[in-house]
Structure formats: C-alpha cells, structure tokens
Amino acid sequence: MTEKDAGAPVPMTNEDREERPRVRLLAVLVIGLAALVLRLGFVLSGEARMEFPDEAQYMNIAGNYANGQGLSVSVDGHGNVLEPNETMQRPPIYPLMLAVIVRFDPDTGAVRAAQVVQAVLGALTCIMIYVLARELTDEGAAWIAGGIAAVYPFFVYFTGRVLSETLFLLLFVTSWYFIVRMWKDLNARAGVTWWLGWCLVGGFLAAGATLTRSSVLPVYLMVPGVMLLLGPRRLMGFALGLLLVFVLFVGLSPWAARNWVHVKAATKEGGIVLTTCKVGESLYEAVGPRATGGPNKENTVWPEEVSAMRHDEYARNQYLLWRSLRYMRNNTKRTVRLAGVKFLRTWNVIPNYEAARTPLYITISLISYVPVLLTGILGLFLCMKRPQTVVWLMVPIVVFTLIHMIFVGSVRYRLAMMPFVMTFSGVTLWRLFCGWFKPTCVKVEEQN
C-alpha cells in the first residue's frame, strides 16, 4: 500500500482542487439499486402494520395535520385520548412527511405508502454514506461502506417502521457531508462561493435533521470547535462553524416561533421551545427513581405535581427537567451506574427488546453487527495517522454515545452512529482486500 491508504484524506492544496474526490456513477447505481431492491422486498413482503406506540403517535399527528388540526397529538402511545391536544411533543418534519402521504393515501392508513417512501429514502442514505466515505477516505473504502449500509439488517428493518429513523439518517448523513465539504474547501482556499454555499446547505440540512430527531443538536454545536481544532485556517474555520450554527438556528426559528405562540396562548407568557416539550419526560424516564437504563415509561412513577400540569405541556416539561437534574445531582453514583448500563444497551450485540430476542434475530444481529463493529474499531486505529478523518467520523459517535448515556440507551439510537462505524469498517476491509489483491487496489488508486 502507498500513502494513499484507505484512511488517507484528500490533500488540501489548490492544485488538487480540480482533482477532488469524484463520485462514481457505477457505485451510485450499484449501491442504490441493491439497497432499494432489498428494502422494497422487505416492506412489500410483510404486513402494513404498526407495532410500536411511537408509530401510532406519529401517524396520529400526521392525520390531525391532514385534517386541519395542526401538528397536534390527540392520543398517547397507548391510544388514550388527550384532552386538550398536545402541540409540542414531536419534531415536525417526519409528521409533515407522513401528512403528505396520508393526503395521497387516506384509505389504507398510509402505512404501506410510508414504507415504500422510506425504502427510497433508505437507498438514498446508502448512496450518501458512500459519498461521505469517499470524501474522507478513498474509493475502495467508500464502496465497502456503502455496500455494508445497503445490506445492513437494522437499516432495512427500520425502513418498514413508521418511525423517524430513516428520514433522519438521510438528512444527517447528507448534512455531515456538506459540512465536511465546507471545511475542505475552506482549507483548500477555494472560492468563497463554494465553502459559503456548503455552509448554507449544511446548516439548513442540519436544521431539518434536528427537526426530525432533536437529539442531534449537540452534534452540530460541536462543529465550530472541530473547525478550530482542524487547521490550517483555524480562526476562519471557527468563524465559519459559528455561521453554520447560526444558519441552523435560522432554520429552527419558524418552529420556535410557532411554539412561542402556543406557549403564550397557554400560559400568557412566552417560552422558547427549540425542539420539543418531550425532553423533560424523556430525561425523567431515563434517570428517575424507576429508571432501568432502557425504555420504561409504563413503570415510571411521575411526580404528583405533574398531574396538575396535564393542560400545560411547557410547564410540565420544565418541571420534569428540573426534577430530573436534581435527582441526578442527589444520586450521583446511581446516575453513573445507569450511564454504564445505557452504554452497554446502546452498543449491545443482541437486541435489548425482549420480543426480539429470538434465535433468528439474535443470529442476524451477531452476524451483521459484530463484524462491522470489530472492523470499525480496527479501522479507527488504522486511520490514526490521518487525525482529520478520525475527528470527523468520531464526533457523531462520541456525542451520540454520551447523549444516550444520559437519556435512554437502546439499539435503536445506535443507528445514527452506524454510518461512521461503517466508514471505519470500510477502511479495514479495503486494507485487507488490498493485502490480498494488490494489483486491483493499484488500479483503483490510479483511477482516482
């Protein structure tokens, strides 16, 4: 292998600007078609039904919006009617997508149509994983990363669930690609139109991802620090990172303004809700007296004061946040122990959900996830000589892991980190492939 190993980033010089990584049409077609066929086959061969409470709630919001009731929740996850409707419990982008589908397909409950749409979105995500990996590594590693994503069972499975994971992954990976492009073009001293354009695109995509799954917001807030860390244009990079965060908040502002109006109508005083009023509830479930480290809402004993706030979701959220933080502070050892439990649940090699702990699902998890995880860890060490690649891939992994060591830990929440693990895995597998078939690798490098 030469210095242009799988972990090597593209040199950042003016001369190389014209020779920047080029996306291969063949890779896009092969990865995209393989992913699409597999996902369509999966969703069309199964029943068009919902299994989890979150699915029913998302569809409830979409139906209410399609019927002119706004982005409101009228039933909880168990089908109990809420009075009055709650208006700030879920980020808006995914319910809005479902609402469009409901409008076009009202008779079947839109579940099948949503599954088919998500099959397409999932295939696009696999393409974007290839594109992002191509930007940070090289062609061979990117092919492998995209290929892993195309066949990864957990990605395929969530295509068939009426949950925000599939849409979120597409928005998140695409936004991270444009953020990396922004950083590279800035340091290559490309024209201001390029890196400023990527900043705007990346910022608004980041807002879309945040309004699909709000837990991603801390990841984007790390970008200015990453730009300051990774030179050579550190101060300019930091300023550009701050601009990206500003664009992100501009993208969040319509939702925040809408929430301000709802809070003011309910309390006569405004209140800022950038994401949702579900944060306090989720945190209390994760750290409160009955917390187990996993989803445990059905066994959570809520403070008595909460029942008096059932008509004021903003006040309830603020109170539960305060109670959660106080409980964490007063029970430090337990909080640390639960953080370890949540870490293990998030990165568990078999499903945590009891109903999914069948021999079939356990075998699928072990066969598909364990090799990707192990080769991903090895790929991290192989990339150590290229710290810029490591940082851009590790920031989402580290931040999401820390978030779910505080909030509930689940295999479901690992999905957001897997594109980056797959990229590291692609580095390892490409290195092994080159060790066995060196002439083929040389040919690929010459094409680049």
Contacts of 130 (CB under 8 A, 6+ apart): 23, 27, 28, 31, 142, 143, 145, 146, 149
For residue 62, give the amino acid letter: A
Question: Would you state the pLDDT for residue 9?
Answer: 40
The reported pTM is 0.92
> What tens digit of pLDDT does each residue of 130-163 get?
999 999 999 999 999 999 999 999 999 999 999 9
Q: Which pLDDT value is given to residue 307?
A: 82
Is 90 exceeded by the pLDDT of residue 325?
A: yes
> What percent of the chain clears pLDDT 90, i.e. is strictly above it?
71
Q: Is 326 exposed, middle or buried (0-12, 13-18, 19+ CB in 10 A)?
A: exposed
pLDDT score of 120: 98
Quote the percentage of the chain above a pLDDT of 70. Answer: 90
Q: Which two tokens stand for residue 111?
A: 């579940």
* Mean of all residue pLDDT scores within the chain: 90
**What is the token pair recorded at 310?**
């059932």
For residue 14, is pLDDT > 50?
no
What is the structure's pLDDT at 2? 42
Q: What is the average per-residue pLDDT within 375-394?
A: 96
The CA distance from 151 to 253, in Å, is 37
How far are the Cα atoms of 11, 263, 316 from residue 307, in angstroms, in the given order? Answer: 59, 18, 9
Least Cα distance to 171 among 198, 143, 210 occurs for: 210
Q: 């917390």: which residue's tokens?
A: 291
Residue 265: its pLDDT value, please? 84
Phi, psi of 82 (to 5 degrees): -100, 135
pLDDT band at 6 (very low <50, low <70, confident <90, very high): very low
Q: Are 263 and 275 in contact (CB under 8 A)?
A: no
Q: What's the rounded Cα separation, in Å, for the pair 224 and 186? A: 13
- CA-CA distances (angstroms) from residue 337 to 294, 331, 332, 366? 13, 10, 9, 26
- Please work out, in degrees rounded to the nearest 5, the angle formed at the alpha carbon of residue 368 by the alpha carbons of 366 and 373: 85
What was the pLDDT predicted at 414?
Answer: 96
CB 139 within 8 A of CB 447: yes
Range with the poorest average pLDDT among 82-86, 171-175, 199-203, 426-430:
82-86
The conformation of residue 22, written as its DSSP 8-state character, comes to -
- State the burial class of residue 371 (Cβ atoms within 10 Å of its Cβ: 0-12, 13-18, 19+): middle
pLDDT above 80: residue 424: yes
Quote the strand ranges of 238-396, DSSP E: none
Structure tokens at 366: 């072990």
At residue 15, does pLDDT exceed 50?
A: no
DSSP string, 45-82: HS-----SHHHHHHHHHHHHHHTTS-S-EEE-TTSPEE
- How confident is the model over 102-129, as pLDDT tens digits? 887 766 668 999 999 999 999 999 999 9
How much is the average pLDDT of 228-235? 91
Beta-bridge mates of residue 75: 81
DSSP state of 266: H
Q: pLDDT (tens digit, 9 = 90+) per residue, 186-209?
A: 988 878 889 999 999 999 999 999
Residue with tokens 């195309």, as numbered in its chain: 150
Q: Which of 357, 387, 440, 422 is nearest to 141 (CA)?
A: 422
Instruction: Identify the residue with better confidence: 96 or 20.
Output: 96
Q: How confident is the model at residue 309 (pLDDT cuts 50, 70, 90)?
A: confident
Q: At 84, phi and psi to the nearest 5?
A: -80, 175
pLDDT tens, position by position, 38-92: 999 999 998 888 888 899 899 999 999 988 889 999 887 667 777 778 899 999 9
Over residues 10-19, the mean pLDDT reads 44
Q: What is the mean pLDDT of residues 2-26?
A: 52
What pLDDT sits at residue 109? 64
Residue whose C-alpha is closest to residue 201's, from 227, 231, 169, 171 = 171
